[in-house]
């Protein structure tokens, strides 16, 4: 009835649209983080390492033989293990950022802010905390990756693959990791916008509750 229609109307508001954008950005951050983790194995054909180049070139370490093949496999494994903690942390953060706006959308659809207007101020505070926290989190993410790429393991791995004529194993940030950083900046701006919209909606609800006869 009318209650269901009022609930659906929230999905057409500016705050709901902003929250849906946050869901999309968080999903993309999660995907980019998983790509960063999954592509670290290079030519590795082991399923546990998820070597995406195995099928592209028709075999794992097809250009290596003997000690070079064993060394390449060891370096791939060590490089993968170096990147695994930061990639998993990024995936966890992306998952949390994905769940957070979904919960807020559900809360607003259930009209909790109307019955408890202070919730909007709590929501605003959470958004500001997350937006501010995104800055050091992004710095830690990029700094950790650059430290890994500057490690002796990565440098030796790069030289070994280049000696066999393979390209694409440079010790630098790749597209998915750069995209994750840019998406995080966009998400932070979306959080600040949502914080402002939450304050605006709080004022609107507060004014409407003072005029119940006009509703």
What is the domain partition of the chain in residue ranges?
Answer: 2-210
pLDDT of residue 59: 44
pLDDT of residue 55: 35
pLDDT of residue 5: 55
For tokens 């794992």, the residue is: 60
Residues 12, 25 contacting (CB under 8 angstroms):
no
- The pLDDT tens digits for 115-147 are 888 999 999 999 999 999 999 999 999 999 999
pLDDT of residue 126: 95
Residues of the chain with pLDDT under 50: 1-3, 40-60, 214-215
pLDDT of residue 104: 92
Residues 166, 63 contacting (CB under 8 angstroms):
yes
pTM score, whole prediction: 0.80
3-state secondary structure of 198: helix
Residues 157, 73 contacting (CB under 8 angstroms):
no
pLDDT of residue 145: 92
Radius of gyration of the chain (CA): 23
Q: How far is CA 152 from CA 38, 77, 127, in A?
A: 21, 14, 40
Give the Cα separation of 34 and 52 in Å (integer): 12
Residues in the chain: 215
Structure tokens at 31: 């995907």
């Amino acid at each position: 009835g009318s209650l269901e229609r009022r609930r659906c109307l929230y999905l057409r508001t500016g705050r709901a649209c902003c929250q849906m954008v946050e869901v999309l950005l968080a999903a993309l951050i999660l995907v980019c983080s998983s790509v960063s983790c999954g592509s670290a194995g290079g030519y590795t054909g082991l399923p546990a390492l998820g070597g995406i180049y195995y099928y592209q070139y028709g075999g794992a370490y097809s250009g290596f033989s003997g000690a070079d093949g064993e060394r390449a496999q060891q370096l791939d494994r060590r490089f993968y293990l170096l990147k695994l903690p930061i990639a998993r942390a990024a995936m966890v953060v992306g998952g949390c950022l994905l769940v957070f706006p979904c919960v807020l959308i559900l809360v607003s659809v259930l009209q909790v802010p109307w019955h408890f207007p202070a919730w909007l101020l709590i929501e605003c505070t959470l958004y500001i905390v997350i937006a501010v926290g995104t800055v050091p989190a992004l710095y830690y993410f990029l700094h950790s990756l650059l430290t890994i790429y500057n490690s002796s393991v990565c440098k030796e791995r790069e030289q070994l693959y280049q000696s066999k004529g393979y390209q694409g194993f440079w010790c630098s940030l790749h597209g998915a990791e750069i995209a994750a950083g840019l998406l995080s900046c966009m998400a932070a701006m979306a959080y600040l916008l949502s914080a402002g919209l939450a304050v605006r909606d709080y004022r609107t609800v507060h004014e409407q509750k003072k005029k119940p006869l006009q509703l």
